[in-house]
Structure 1
Amino acid sequence: MNYLFVLHDPPYGTERTYNGIRWARQLLDADPANQVRVFNFADAVVSVTAGQKVPHGFYNLAKMTTALTENGGVIGNCGACMDARGMGDDQLIEGAHRSSMVELAEWTAWADQVINV
């Protein structure tokens, strides 16, 4: 199955993005045939900023999303949302990319299931 996760919330201060990434990773682990794509809107774009430093024992969304891409997941970041937050492409973790509404529309058509978190 093809799954598309659309995330909106910041990486910290709420657990919606954290749980969305956990869920996406579980779908990849559950069946090697599953394909997962994640599209980050609004403050969720910060989730894939490289070099995050969090308190000891706290989850790190950059590491979690890197693990997702290393296992075949694909992550697109809303380009307009990145621009609004002053984020450059060079700030993204490896495996994440600047995306667009055009790509999101293509991914939506590709997906068997769209999960809006």
Structure 2
Amino acid sequence: MNTLFILNDAPYGSERSYNGLRLARALSKEPEQRVRVFLMGDAVACAKAGQKVPAGYYNAADMVRMAGGEVGLCGTCMDARGLRDDEVVQGARRSTLKELAEWTATAAKVLVF
């Protein structure tokens, strides 16, 4: 089954993106599950490489790497925030609204955080 997660919130300040990434990772471990994660708006910052957080605090970039499926970032949102392709964690990549539309059309479930 294909499940699409769409995250909109910044990596820190609220726990919406954190919880979306946690659920994506947990679901990706289930048999016959295909997980895709699309980061848009302030959520593109979740995939910024080199984040340094206080000891004991979650690192959103690590969570993106461990999401367990394809991770697309809204290219327009990246540009608006000055986030370059070479600044994102391994496994995440620039994407488009067209690809998000394709992922949405083929998903059995779409979860928005």
User: Which interval holds the TM-score relative to the shorter structure?
Assistant: over 0.9
1:72-102 Cα deviation digits (max 9, x unpaired) = x110000000000011000010100000010
Matched, 1:101 2:97: yes
Tell me the equivalent position of 2:46.
47
Tell me how large the CA RMSD over aligned residues is.
Answer: 0.7
Partners in 2 of 1:82 and 1:65 — Cα distance? 15
Q: TM-score, normalised by structure 1?
A: 0.94
SS for the counterpart of 1:102 is helix
Partners in 2 of 1:44 and 1:107 — Cα distance? 18
SS for the counterpart of 2:66 is helix
Question: Percent of counterpart pairs with the same letter?
Answer: 55
Partners in 1 of 2:38 and 2:74 — Cα distance? 7
| Large movers: runs of 4+ above 4 Å | none
Partners in 1 of 2:8 and 2:59 — Cα distance? 17
1:6-57 Cα deviation digits (max 9, x unpaired) = 000000000000000001111112x231000011110000000111000000
Q: Which runs of 5+ in 1 are unaligned?
A: none
Q: Which runs of 5+ in 2 are unaligned?
A: none
